[in-house]
Amino acid sequence: MSSPLKLEIEQSLAVITFNTPERANVLDLAMARAFASAIEQIAGDTSVRAVLITAAGKHFCAGGDINAFADASRPLPEILQELLDPVHEAMKMLTLLPVPVVCAINGPVGGGGIGFALCGDIVLAAESMKLRGGYSAIGLTPDVGGSWFVTRRAGAAKAKEVFLTNRPFPAAECCAIGLVDAVYPDADLPHAARKLALQLAQGPAQAQARIKTLIESAQHHSLQSHFDLERESMFASGATEDGREGIRAFIEKRAPKFQ
């Protein structure tokens, strides 16, 4: 039996590809476990310096396996717990990775797929991408971090519209409200996303990790305390070989070779 997900690690880039296009890359138990295993492997591999998340076929991820939810032989909370526990633990681990994460949304996404789609530091989308909440239409609530990522990117008002109205948000609108960072023609998205992810994988790893920490923590600090954190981060980065190499490369008008 083939895996519902592919993990490839090459040139310091880890690429996760949801790989059940015949089922719209639905989030079922097999996908949940494969995703958790992939994130655990990435987290334990010190050679990985960037992550790219994408999908095969015309859909990114249609969300949870509603047919499995309809199993009358088991309580629905039991089914949901079995599915969500490995995914949520993996998503927590993913969001704590010190490396850049790029998401390439190659097509329509809904339900639990929204968390996968928007968890990246940078999110790119194909023109065919559409985002639809869908949860309240079946009497359920968001998971996989979807409500957090949508709120963080587009604000509370838009998040309520996404998850209460369940209307489709096309790619152009998603970009306009900040849910995604850029939109590409479908045929161009894979190349653009991989090029960006490889560029990030070749960047200064320690500085990029500190940048992520600074930005993620900014909302929790006063401006004055954040100045202190920026100061400490700059001194620490300046003490690295990457910092020295970056400055030399700039002066010498060449591309830097970061460690």
CATH classification at residue 124: 3.90.226.10
Could you say which of 201, 217, 232 is where a domain stops? 201
d(CA 32, CA 19): 12
> Are residues 64 and 187 located together in one domain of the fold?
yes
Domain hosting residue 241, numbered range = 205-251
16 CB-contact burial (10 Å; exposed 0-12 / middle 13-18 / buried 19+): buried
> Are residues 78 and 101 located together in one domain of the fold?
yes
Is 156 contained in some domain?
yes
- What is the Rg, in whole angstroms, of the alpha carbon atoms belonging to the chain? 19
Residue 2 — very low, low, confident or very high, per pLDDT cuts 50/70/90?
confident
> Are residues 83 and 178 located together in one domain of the fold?
yes
> Are residues 138 and 101 located together in one domain of the fold?
yes
Average pLDDT over residues 194-200: 97
Q: How much of the chain, in percent, has pLDDT values that exceed 90? A: 96
Write down the pLDDT at residue 178: 98
Tokens 């339900």 locate to 111
Write down the pLDDT at residue 139: 94
Task: Give helix 29-43 / helix 76-95 axis angle, nearest 10°.
Answer: 20
d(CA 78, CA 234): 48
Average pLDDT over residues 124-141: 96
d(CA 96, CA 204): 18
Task: Give the residue from 96, 92, 52, 46 showing the smallest Cα distance to 205.
Answer: 46
Bridge partner list, 15 = 8, 52
d(CA 4, CA 26): 9
**Cβ proximity of 107 and 58 under 8 Å:** yes
Average pLDDT over residues 48-69: 96
d(CA 82, CA 235): 45
Instruction: Tell me: pLDDT of 259 over 80.
Output: yes
Write down the pLDDT at residue 1: 55
Residue 26 — very low, low, confident or very high, per pLDDT cuts 50/70/90?
very high
Is 256 contained in some domain?
no
Is 168 contained in some domain?
yes
Q: Which residues have C-beta within 8 Å of that of residue 183, sequence separation ≥ 6?
A: 124, 125, 126, 127, 129, 171, 172, 174, 175
Is 109 contained in some domain?
yes
Instruction: Tell me: pLDDT of 155 over 60.
Output: yes
pTM, 2 dp? 0.94
> Are residues 88 and 101 located together in one domain of the fold?
yes
The domain total for the chain is 2
Write down the pLDDT at residue 102: 98
Q: For 207-218, write each residue's pLDDT tens digit.
A: 999 999 999 999
Tokens matching residue 147: 């409500």
Instruction: Tell me: pLDDT of 3 over 90.
Output: no
d(CA 72, CA 240): 58
Could you say which of 177, 201, 225 is where a domain stops? 201
Instruction: Tell me: pLDDT of 219 over 70.
Output: yes
Write down the pLDDT at residue 132: 98
> Are residues 60 and 181 located together in one domain of the fold?
yes
> Are residues 36 and 135 located together in one domain of the fold?
yes
Handedness of CA 81, 85, 86, 92 (dihedral sign): positive
Could you say which of 201, 217, 237 is where a domain stops? 201
> Are residues 137 and 74 located together in one domain of the fold?
yes
Tokens 């050679």 locate to 47
Is 128 contained in some domain?
yes
Is 233 contained in some domain?
yes
Is 259 contained in some domain?
no
> Are residues 67 and 185 located together in one domain of the fold?
yes
Tokens 């990985």 locate to 48
Average pLDDT over residues 111-134: 97
Average pLDDT over residues 27-47: 97
Across all residues in the chain, what is the average pLDDT? 96
> Are residues 94 and 47 located together in one domain of the fold?
yes
> Are residues 129 and 245 located together in one domain of the fold?
no
**Cβ proximity of 127 and 170 under 8 Å:** no
> Are residues 212 and 91 located together in one domain of the fold?
no
Is 258 contained in some domain?
no
